[in-house]
Amino acid sequence: MSDCDVEDVWCKLKTILRDAASEACSLSKNHQWKRETWWWDDKVFEAIKTKRARFRSYKVLVKAGRLSEANEAKRAYNEAKSLAKRVVWQAKLDAEKDKFANISPNDGSVLNPFSTETVLLVAYWSPITYTFLYT
């Protein structure tokens, strides 16, 4: 058997094995590092962008050894972080209200108790969550 024959046999075997494995197991998708969320909007984007920029400027000042300016930058970063948390919370709240606005308990439909929408709806309207969100 010559080298060309071995390569041809290997290529044919490899193709058959790869096709069989992909048919039986399917292929996984690449990981999406920057995950998109259904409630993300322009206000959230700007708040997170500002927070990240202030953190980067704080780190640059610390690395440069300018501690008085770094303390001011850290204060600005903490304010931006707090604002970003509020903006994210409000965006999630608004999106959930929009998503669950059309759900009526009297429409005759049966909710699946294991679906994500049902769990979120129950968690959103439960008294414990309500107390936690507004305290």
* φ/ψ of residue 65, rounded to 5: 85, 10
High-pLDDT (> 70) share of the chain, %: 64
pLDDT, tens digit (0-9, with 9 covering 90-100), for 53-88: 999 999 999 999 999 999 999 999 999 999 999 999
98: in domain: yes
Range of the domain at 124: 37-102+112-135
Task: Report the distance separating Cα 80 and Cα 49, nearest Å.
Answer: 10
123: in domain: yes
92: in domain: yes
30: in domain: no
Q: Are 62 and 70 in contact (CB under 8 A)?
A: yes
* φ/ψ of residue 41, rounded to 5: -135, -175
Q: Are 99 and 39 in contact (CB under 8 A)?
A: no
What is the overall mean pLDDT for the chain? 77
Count of structural domains within the chain? 1
pTM: predicted TM-score of the whole model, two decimal places: 0.51
Task: Report the distance separating Cα 13 and Cα 10, nearest Å.
Answer: 5
Return the structure tokens found at 29.
Answer: 């998708």
74: in domain: yes
